[in-house]
Amino acid sequence: MPTLPFLLTTAQMRRLSPHVPHSHGIARVDDRRVLSGIIYVIRHGLQWRDAPVAYGPHKTLYNRFVRWSRLGVFDRIFAALAAESGPPERLMIDSTHLKAHRTAASLLKKGLLPVASAEPGAA
């Protein structure tokens, strides 16, 4: 089995462990290894089944990600980490844009959308 470095250090895992749900008497795969696998898959844009075997079975990574997402575990982790750092020095604005489908322009010609630039009362 190939060895990949954990993406989370022990100190980082200690900070995250209060937000991770406890196992209820059932031994489970190492949380540090699974979280590292989840981060690896997301960071590299992989499908779950393409996750390196060193992080455990891909089904475990997927199930843990889905379960913890539904429980709000990642929301709590992000909120706690953001609260520790205080207000940011710099804010960024995302300039993401959406591309309209080529048929969207013909909707105005067919009269299916109101003309936004028309003056009030003119028709």
Which residue, 43, 66, 41, is CA-closest to 54?
41
Instruction: Quick: pLDDT tens for 48-81.
Output: 999 999 898 999 999 999 999 999 999 999 998 8
- Cβ neighbours for 77, distance < 8 A, ≥ 6 positions apart: 16, 19
pLDDT band at residue 106 under the 50/70/90 scheme: low
The answer to whether 7 and 57 are in contact (CB under 8 A) is no
Instruction: Quick: pLDDT tens for 7-42.
Output: 888 888 888 888 888 777 776 778 889 999 999 999
Environment class of 48 (CB within 10 Å of its CB; exposed 0-12, middle 13-18, buried 19+)? middle
Q: Name the helix (H) or strand (E) containing 109.
A: helix 106-109
Could you give the CA distance from residue 62 to residue 81 in angstroms, rounded to a whole number?
23
Q: Is the full-model pTM beyond 0.75?
A: no
Could you give the CA distance from residue 70 to residue 17 in angstroms, rounded to a whole number?
18
Which residue, 73, 52, 47, is CA-closest to 62?
47
